[in-house]
């Protein structure tokens, strides 16, 4: 669990609240002019003069969203930040600050919290986001991270879920389904380890899907690319739950239907091979898997020429006046999509 297992461990009870907070926040550097005050007062102070402020929150709960038996703590901190700022990019915004809550039971030493912070601050640094405050507390059992991301967007530039028009093209960035297959590999190796603790995990050859699961990135580059290409998405969402749910959200918010095509959907060869190995239809991993953190957006037909040769962007279908919300399979069958969301309860 700890990246540096031989390091000396400090029990949380040895430090008081204030010493712990000092230790965790001492390496924070601020990089946004809009951050007037960060950690250290009752609230952080932000100046987004001339911009609108975006705010988004995600909770990550141990045993529900992550399993510390195979997720390194630094990766967990990194991912917690990334999944939140991904929501800000999905509004066509620029993330500027995060505020981080961390509840941990006393089974974690101080060094564990420091690794989480290290991961969070690495993500903050990569995306030029300031960690400006938070709350660190104990929990009766388990660990929970609660991240609130704050961003800015110029007036008139926000892209909501609700702006899609009939005939708009549906476009996705990157490829889909890999984060889910990465999770399957980790779960398989965990089960193998449980039945025989002497087994070495077989992770070789699965680097791409594992990285997609353990260290996802938010598509800041796509927001910049669209700006450079002078493409204004009419609606946008990030793919956290699986393509099916996200398409449903766009259609519902925009009050439209859509048709997407299985043969258009970008999938990585490693993901397809693994899906077959696991006896999973790759399209199922794409539709219901989730955690890809790619962007799904709609553009007007007139913008298609600007994106059609870009390897990072793929048109997968188009919006329609009314229902259904359907997928045309490789066998030329039309199937209606269903919302998934979590079913963790």
Ranges within 12-31 binding a copy of itself (CB under 8 A): 12-13, 16-18
Q: Using CA atoms in the order 72, 75, 76, 77, what is the torsion angle rounded to 10 degrees?
A: 130
* Beta bridge pairs of residue 295: 238
Tell me which residues in 95-124 interact with a copy of itself (CB under 8 A): 97, 99-103, 106
Residue closer to a copy of itself, measured from CB, 93 or 289? 93
Residue closer to a copy of itself, measured from CB, 102 or 181? 102
Block residue for tokens 């960035």: 173
CA distance 16 to 99: 21
Contact residue for a copy of itself among 153, 223, 274, 316 (CB under 8 A): 153
Q: Closest separation between CB of residue 152 and a copy of itself, Å?
A: 10
Residue closer to a copy of itself, measured from CB, 52 or 211? 52
Contact residue for a copy of itself among 73, 76, 112, 150 (CB under 8 A): 150
Contact residue for a copy of itself among 80, 90, 256, 271 (CB under 8 A): 90
* Piece of 68-76, 274-282, 305-313, 334-342 that binds a copy of itself (CB under 8 A): 334-342
Instruction: Count the site residues for a copy of itself by CB under 8 A.
Output: 76
Q: Phi, psi (5° rounding) for residue 100?
A: -120, 125
Are 311 and 321 in contact by the 8 Å Cβ rule? The answer is no
Cα→Cα distances 180→151, 184, 281, Å: 28, 6, 12
* Beta bridge pairs of residue 94: 152
Residue closer to a copy of itself, measured from CB, 45 or 334? 45
> Which two tokens mark 216?
């996802």
3-state secondary structure of 147: strand
Give yes or no for residue 234 binding a copy of itself (CB under 8 A): no
Name the helix (H) or strand (E) containing 248.
helix 243-254
Contact residue for a copy of itself among 2, 122, 126, 160 (CB under 8 A): 160
């Amino acid at each position: 669990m700890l990246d540096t297992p031989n390091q000396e461990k400090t029990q949380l009870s040895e430090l008081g609240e204030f010493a712990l907070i000092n230790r965790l926040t001492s390496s924070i550097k601020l990089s946004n002019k809009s951050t007037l005050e960060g950690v250290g007062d009752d609230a952080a102070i932000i100046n987004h003069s001339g911009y609108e402020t975006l705010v988004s929150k995600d909770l990550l709960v141990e045993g529900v969203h992550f399993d510390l038996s195979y997720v390194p703590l630094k990766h967990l901190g990194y991912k917690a930040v990334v999944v939140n700022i991904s929501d800000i990019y999905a509004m066509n915004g620029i993330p500027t600050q995060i505020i981080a809550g961390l509840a941990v039971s006393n089974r974690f030493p101080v060094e564990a919290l420091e690794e989480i912070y290290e991961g969070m601050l690495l993500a903050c640094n990569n995306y030029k986001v300031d960690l400006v405050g938070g709350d660190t507390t104990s929990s009766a059992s388990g660990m929970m991270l609660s991240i609130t991301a704050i961003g800015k967007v110029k007036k008139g530039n926000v892209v909501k879920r609700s702006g899609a028009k009939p005939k708009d093209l549906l476009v996705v960035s990157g490829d889909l389904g890999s984060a889910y297959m990465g999770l399957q590999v980790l779960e398989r190796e965990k089960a193998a380890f449980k039945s025989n603790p002497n087994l070495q995990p077989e992770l070789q050859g699965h680097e791409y899907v594992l990285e997609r699961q353990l260290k996802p990135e938010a598509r800041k580059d796509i927001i910049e690319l669209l700006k450079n290409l002078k493409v204004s998405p009419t609606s946008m969402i990030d793919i956290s739950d699986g393509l099916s749910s996200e398409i449903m959200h766009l259609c519902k918010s925009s009050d439209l239907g859509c048709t997407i095509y299985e043969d258009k959907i970008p999938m990585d060869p490693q993901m397809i091979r693994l899906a077959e190995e696991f006896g999973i239809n790759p399209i199922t991993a794409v539709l219901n898997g989730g955690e890809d953190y790619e962007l799904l957006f709609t553009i007007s037909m007139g913008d298609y020429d600007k994106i059609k040769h870009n390897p990072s962007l793929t048109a997968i279908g188009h919006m329609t006046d009314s229902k259904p919300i359907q997928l045309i399979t490789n066998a030329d069958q039309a199937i209606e999509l269903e919302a998934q969301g979590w079913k963790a309860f």
